Amino acid sequence: MLTNTITLEIKKASKESTPILTTEILIENESWPLHTNYFAILWIHSGKGIVETDLMKVKYTENQVFCFNTYQAFALHSKGSTKATLLLFHANFFCIETYHHQVGCNGVLFNNIYATSQIPILPQDREELKSLFNTIKNEIKEEELASNELVFSYLKIFLIKLTRIKNEIDTVINPNTPILPDYLSELTNLINEHYLSEHQPAFYADKLHLTVKTLSTATKQYYQKTVSALIAEKLILKAKWELLHTNTQIKTIASDLGFQDEYYFSRFFKKHIGLSPKHFREEEWKIRKGFLSIP
């Protein structure tokens, strides 16, 4: 479990601790891990290997972008030399939920349990994205970043562009891509309807008149995740939202999410996030009640 092996780095996202950062990455036949409370956009420029999270593994190659949620531990396992750039930003600087109607990246680049957010960057898009990224990088170097609306605006444009690319790719029918079976579309509906009360893959397999093995084999093929991983990710997203946006007691949240035991819920949450629900709420509330870059 990556979350248990990679040290969680909590960045404060304040004037003293930059709420948006860029990093150049060079890996030579090794692993490169990251676990932080920032959203992460990883752009692979060259090289190949494996991207791993707690819930999936997928191959990467050059000119691909991956997007990761806050507190989602991930690691690059490079086969040879890999060059990449990393863009990190905190929700205090840019909240994907607040600006969803303008940007549309929530549920596409981030918080989509049925996708890896693996985006191939085609030649016609590379120069524009590279220019936007470099502009963000250069603006970050300027003083008064915390009140610099230019950085916010360029990040917004960058996210819009990536979202459009992802949506366009998803709508193009590739003859080499197998057609999604109808029962997986039905699985999506079943998980959305029952995940709060039904956490076991056997429930969904039974509803679809399939064996658990057959269903998990299919989800691994099409989503790179097991049925259990899909359910767990859905629960984690809901738990994070409740902890961040409500004052609901953790015991009540655990019950609402279908956990009879509050302590089991806490262990489940810490396993995937790296903090207990209590500490997660405390840390994020301290940050989010403080400095906000762009109102």
- Those residues with Cβ within 8 angstroms of residue 264's Cβ, 6 or more apart along the chain or in another chain: 254
Statement: residue 146 has pLDDT above 50? no
Closest listed residue to residue 45, CA positions, set 117, 130, 109, 157: 130
Model pLDDT, residue 178: 65
Is 85 within 8 Å of 27 (Cβ atoms)?
A: no
Model pLDDT, residue 84: 97
Model pLDDT, residue 157: 94
Read off the pLDDT band of 295 (50, 70, 90).
very low
Of the candidate ranges 103-117, 186-200, 207-221, 274-288, the one whose mean pLDDT is the lowest: 103-117
- Those residues with Cβ within 8 angstroms of residue 20's Cβ, 6 or more apart along the chain or in another chain: 87, 88, 89, 90, 93, 94, 136, 140, 145, 151, 155
Cα–Cα distance, 244 to 51 (Å, whole number): 28
- Those residues with Cβ within 8 angstroms of residue 186's Cβ, 6 or more apart along the chain or in another chain: 208
Cα–Cα distance, 215 to 220 (Å, whole number): 9
Distance between first and last Cα of the chain: 37
Is 46 within 8 Å of 79 (Cβ atoms)?
A: no
Statement: residue 135 has pLDDT above 50? yes
Please return the burial class of 110, using the count of CB atoms within 10 Å of its CB with bins 0-12, 13-18 and 19+: buried
Is 4 within 8 Å of 54 (Cβ atoms)?
A: no
Of the candidate ranges 90-104, 166-180, 217-231, the one whose mean pLDDT is the lowest: 166-180
Contacts 24+ apart (CB under 8 A), 225-228: 225/55, 225/56, 225/113, 226/201, 227/187, 227/201, 228/201
DSSP string, 169-226: HHHS--TTSPPPPHHHHHHHHHHHHHTTT---HHHHHHHTT--HHHHHHHHHHHHSS-
- Residue 158 CA, chain-centre distance (Å), reads 16
Read off the pLDDT band of 170 (50, 70, 90).
confident
pLDDT one-digit tens code per residue, 247-267: 999 999 999 999 999 999 999
Handedness of CA 228, 167, 192, 256 (dihedral sign): positive
Model pLDDT, residue 19: 84
Statement: residue 60 has pLDDT above 50? yes
- As a whole number, mean pLDDT of residues 85-111 equals 82
Cα–Cα distance, 237 to 244 (Å, whole number): 11
Across the chain, mean pLDDT equals 88
Statement: residue 67 has pLDDT above 50? yes
What radius of gyration, in Å, describes the C-alpha atoms of the chain?
19
pLDDT one-digit tens code per residue, 233-252: 999 999 999 999 999 999 99
Is 103 within 8 Å of 46 (Cβ atoms)?
A: no
- Those residues with Cβ within 8 angstroms of residue 115's Cβ, 6 or more apart along the chain or in another chain: 223
